[in-house]
């Protein structure tokens, strides 16, 4: 069935047209990459849409991190304020990301060392434990973190016992995979070759990888998930936002000649690009990216 795409939404309109994320979308209660630019995420979501609600952990600096109880309150309050609570399919746990560091009030995509990341693993597992006892009637994305394959597996071993029907195991820490593919490619492959079979043996039926639209990574992860009977999903705002930046396509359907269109055309292009991307990911098994990652280790 390919990869299910949850479109990231962080606006109330797409230029001149209403937001149109389609069947699945992902919403965070906050947005911003610098302490002084972080703000509430104002959204308008049409029905019916199946929603993964992010925790906002990627925006919280070390000094502004919430308790798990406060993080859930923020998520619930945001869903109620923007009228999408009834559409939430799964709510993300409040993990601690290992692919970002804060320096001088700005978040940068810098991966932690393995020794640094053990603290993040412990915080991430504690978050899963808390959310597991505070479900409030929705499924959970039980996020995992880790820098090495072994560390990631150790985290998954501690989290998987909280998995229930209607949940997903979240693979965090890979949103920079496409930009740093040479440095992270082997680590990613080692991780999924070890973690996905373990999750399959534990009866996990759903995996969600956070913020990855990189074709090679998704294709190889999908190959592993299909082998072990696991449904795969991802989230990204990129597919609806690329035309705003004058870019079109992914992987084998990139159009380098595309240029940003006038505002009245750009709105329709955003929806068109999202629809094409969703269809392409749905048929990712039929592309060159669908392959056994163990062959490249």
CA dist 18 and 54 (Å) reads 22
- Tens of each residue's pLDDT in the chain, 297 residues: 899 999 999 999 999 999 999 999 999 999 987 777 899 999 999 999 999 999 999 999 888 899 999 999 999 999 999 999 999 999 999 999 888 777 777 777 778 889 999 999 999 999 999 999 999 999 999 999 999 999 999 999 999 999 999 999 999 999 989 888 888 999 999 999 999 999 999 999 999 999 999 999 999 999 999 999 999 999 999 999 999 999 999 999 999 999 999 988 999 999 999 999 999 999 999 999 999 999 999
- Which run of H or E residues covers position 70? helix 68-81
**169 - beta bridge partners?**
142, 207
Domains of the chain: 3-296 (3.20.20.105)
Cβ-contact 91, 53 below 8 angstroms:
yes
CA dist 223 and 293 (Å) reads 8
Cβ-contact 185, 152 below 8 angstroms:
no
CA dist 226 and 192 (Å) reads 12
Q: Residue for token digits 């163990």?
A: 294
Surface-to-core class of residue 203, CB atoms within 10 Å of its CB (0-12 exposed, 13-18 middle, 19+ buried): exposed
CA dist 217 and 163 (Å) reads 24
CA dist 80 and 170 (Å) reads 24
Q: Residue for token digits 């995996």?
A: 207
**57 - beta bridge partners?**
none
CA dist 178 and 162 (Å) reads 30
CA dist 85 and 27 (Å) reads 11
**141 - beta bridge partners?**
92, 168
């Amino acid at each position: 069935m390919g990869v299910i795409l949850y479109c990231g939404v962080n606006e109330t309109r797409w230029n001149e047209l209403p937001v149109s994320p389609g069947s699945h979308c992902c919403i965070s209660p906050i947005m911003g990459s610098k302490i002084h630019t972080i703000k509430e995420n104002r959204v308008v979501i049409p029905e019916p849409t199946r929603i993964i609600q992010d925790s906002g952990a990627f925006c919280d600096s070390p000094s502004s991190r919430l308790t798990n109880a406060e993080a859930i309150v923020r998520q619930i309050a945001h869903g109620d304020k923007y009228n999408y609570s009834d559409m939430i399919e799964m709510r993300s746990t409040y993990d601690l990301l290992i692919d970002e560091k804060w320096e001088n009030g700005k978040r940068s995509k810098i991966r932690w060392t393995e020794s640094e990341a053990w603290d993040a693993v412990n915080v991430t597992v504690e978050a899963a434990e808390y959310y597991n006892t505070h479900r409030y009637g929705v499924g959970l994305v039980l996020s995992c973190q880790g820098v090495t394959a072994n560390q990631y597996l150790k985290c998954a071993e501690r989290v998987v016992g909280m998995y229930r029907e209607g949940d997903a195991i979240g693979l965090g820490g890979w949103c920079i995979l496409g930009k740093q593919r040479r440095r992270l490619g082997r680590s990613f492959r080692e991780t999924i070759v070890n973690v996905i079979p373990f999750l399959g043996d534990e009866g996990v039926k759903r995996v969600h990888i956070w913020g990855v639209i990189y074709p090679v990574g998704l294709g190889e992860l999908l190959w592993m998930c299909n082998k072990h009977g696991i449904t795969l999903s991802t989230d990204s705002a990129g597919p609806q936002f690329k035309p705003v930046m004058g870019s079109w396509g992914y992987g084998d359907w990139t159009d380098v000649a595309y240029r940003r269109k006038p505002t009245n055309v750009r709105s329709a292009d955003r929806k068109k690009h999202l629809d094409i991307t969703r269809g392409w990911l749905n048929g990712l098994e039929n592309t060159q990216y669908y392959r056994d990652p163990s062959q490249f280790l």
